[in-house]
A and B are shown apart, each in its own frame.
Chain A
């Protein structure tokens, strides 16, 4: 007994000291030291984040994490993914389990200010919509009085839904599941008349239904859902890395720099492009990266438009038009803050 006691004592001190030291290091140094980015992702949302049989991840949100890895390590594979459902995601980030959350997460004021988190950009401008059976015979969300609505817990969706039905004086009933698979199964089994979530999610989930053509998305978009990457509050350096990775993607598209031409662009005389590829200025080192960080992103992952087209664009099963997600110069909202 007594011999063990000393060991227990030692272990206890170790644990206590370890706890006291946790969660205070700079994320970028941490990431560099361990050699990869730990990225929280959606387990399965076609076009945004899915893993194939080999465990190979792809999607718009996934490509953002890869861009981050390319910026830091010049290697888009140096990233590990943690699948998270809606409810788990913020706790995982707060507790340091992941370095960045890139999981169709809506930027709201309360999340940005009172959860100890910071949103770093908007990868996808979205809004909440409704999916119904065509057989129901409704053509507008305003006809949904008395509907039973399936949705996922821990989302902005739940709250928008309540607001919308209440403000339109329509009685409704909400059935809220923890995981998306159950929402879809229940909707398909007929537990609900309506399935609601972000329109992007509706496009993606509709493809999983047995007969997608029997269902339609109603025209009303009832909310603003700017979806983007999130980091922990209080680490400005890491926040900058994530934020500027996003701006780099958009700037690249604005400047016409693509995965195919980025090598040639390195010899361009255009001062903006020179700054972007690192031929001029010290922009990379200002955020703790190499000066060719942005060129590496584009070389390894492509620019914003390429990422969009590859994962969710018109040539993919989702076939989503650029719409709000077009560049500001083309009538959309994507606008890269200048690198200068």
Chain B
């Protein structure tokens, strides 16, 4: 109604404010804010009262008390004598670990399955379709149990092992790998690697501009190889091999409890992590596959035809024409799947993987600090979600720019 007359109808001085739509609008908004604020305050003060009555004055002081419980996997120093705060930190890092690994694996597998579903090979397409249907339509918790206990029940016991080239070993205690041990000068190799990557990027952009002139990309991969692999390897030998490996030690004799892999030798990937990662990857990949399929379908068929008529081979068409355009459709829902995977990782507690929810639950149980711990959980998952969204949105903007 205000589109023709910006100042609104002239106000009749005799009619009251109640009939003034502007005023009424404003009144309701203010009232709504007051009510919401009051409810919020009421919940807050009520919770505070109840906590006081239970002798639980809110605060984070309790986090400095000794935890007293062991945690099976921690990437930072932790012992029973550490504080609750430290324990929660261990849990957070474990959550990050499984989330990041899960996102990487699920994306790779998801793309593979999604493309396979569109394959012209009948068998491959059907297998991919069956995969998606099976894993999307069974509860994740069930899958976690399935994979975890499937892993536990099918591998050798703690006093025996399967080995791969004498480097990687597997038994019910987990996957045993050589653990890199970094000497004092190992940092130099990292610097060399970073430097190599940086120079590589410069070389790439130079190559891109040269391509315009040459009409074909110049051969730069040997340069990349030299910079990214060669340089760090060279530095490794120059500074006297500062990285060594601790190999898993396997004892075949002695009392039973001493047999098997020695504690502290090598790198152990516990079966709880393996089971959880398998389940999260396989489950989320089913969704990602559908997203990828939809994204590729969304690229008009004319694009593919145009590409073939220009003489591109099917693989090239997929890589250079279809996927880049499909990415625009894929990325927003893909972000959702990343968020889901991160949040789903909290099911870890069912199979003893010590993630933030699992460790937090133990702390909660021992201290009774439900409000504080739940607050930590919410803050962390919200933070992780926001972070993931920011990264993916930035990526999305880059991909969107490519659009013509």
Q: Which of A5, A158, A185 contacts B69 (CB 8 A)?
A: A158
Any chain A CB within 8 A of the CB of B257? Answer: yes
CB atoms of A137 and B54 under 8 A apart = no
The answer to whether A280 has its CB under 8 Å from any CB of chain B is no
Asked whether A16 and B42 contact (CB < 8 A) given A154-B362, A159-B68, A182-B351, the answer is yes
With an 8 A cutoff between CB atoms, is A328 at the interface?
A: no
Q: Interface 1/0s, chain B 345-365, versus A by CB < 8 A?
A: 000011110100010011011
Smallest beta-carbon distance A93→chain B, Å: 10
The answer, yes or no, to whether B121 is at the interface (CB within 8 Å) is no
Interface centre among B31, B256, B354 (most CB of A within 10 A): B256
A49-87 interface (Cβ within 8 A of B): 86-87
**Residue in A closest to B55 when the chains form the complex, CB atoms:** A116
Q: Is B350's CB under 8 angstroms from A178's CB?
A: yes
The reply to whether B257 and A136 contact each other, CB–CB distance below 8 Å, is yes
Q: Residue-by-residue, is B5-40 near A (CB-CB < 8 Å gives 1, otherwise 0)? A: 000000000000000000000001001100110110
CB pair B54–A20 under 8 Å, yes or no, is: no
Among B42, B69, B72, B370, the residue within 8 A (CB) of A175 is B72
Size of chain B's interface in residues, with CB distance under 8 A? 50
Q: Is the CB of B72 within 8 A of A189?
A: no
State which residues 124-170 of A face B: CB under 8 Å: 135-138, 143-148, 153-154, 158-159, 161-163, 166
Q: Is A186 an interface residue (CB 8 A)?
A: yes
Q: Which residues of A contact B358 (CB under 8 A)?
A: 153, 176, 178
**Identity of the chain B residue whose Cβ is nearest the Cβ of A89 in the assembled complex:** B365
Say how far A3's CB is from chain B's closest CB, in angstroms.
12
Which residues of A from 231 to 259 have beta carbons under 8 Å from B? 232-234
Selecting from B150-158, B186-194, B333-341, the interface stretch reads: B150-158
- Residues in A neighbouring B145, C-beta threshold 8 A: 182
- Which single member of B46, B272, B368 contacts A116 (CB below 8 Å)? B368
Residue of A nearest to B154 (CB): A189
Q: Is B208 an interface residue (CB 8 A)?
A: no
Residue A216 lies at the interface, judged by CB distance under 8 Å to chain B: no
Residue of B whose beta carbon sits closest to that of A194? B257
Contact A185 B149 (CB under 8 A): yes
Contacts of B157 in A (CB 8 A): 190
For chain B, what secondary structure do more than half of its interface residues adopt (helix, strand, loop), or is it mixed?
helix
A26 at the B interface (CB under 8 A): no
> Contact partner of B352 among A147, A175, A190, A233, CB < 8 A?
A175
Q: Are A115 and B271 in contact (CB under 8 A)?
A: no
Q: Given that A19-B42, A148-B173, A186-B352 are contacting pairs, would A115 and B368 also be in contact in the complex, using a CB cutoff of 8 Å?
A: yes
Contact with B along A174-207 (1 / 0, CB 8 A): 1111110010011001110100000000000000
Does chain B have a CB within 8 A of A23? yes
A15 interfacial by beta-carbon distance below 8 Å: yes
**Quick one: given A116-B53, A159-B69, are A193 and B271 in contact (CB under 8 Å)?**
no
User: For A193, what are the chain B residues with a Cβ–Cβ distance below 8 Å?
Assistant: 158, 257
The yes or no answer to B70 lying at the interface (CB within 8 A) is: yes
Contacts of B257 in A (CB 8 A): 136, 138, 143-147, 193
12 A-B pairs whose Cβ atoms sit less than 8 Å apart in the complex: A15-B39, A19-B46, A86-B365, A115-B55, A116-B53, A143-B255, A147-B257, A171-B263, A174-B71, A176-B69, A176-B362, A177-B350
A residues within 8 Å of B by Cβ? 2, 5, 9, 12-13, 15-16, 19-20, 22-23, 86-87, 90-91, 94, 110-111, 113-116, 135-138, 143-148, 153-154, 158-159, 161-163, 166, 171-179, 182, 185-186, 189-191, 193, 232-234
Closest A-B pairs by Cβ, 10 of them = A116-B54, A154-B365, A115-B368, A189-B152, A174-B70, A162-B80, A177-B352, A158-B69, A16-B42, A146-B257
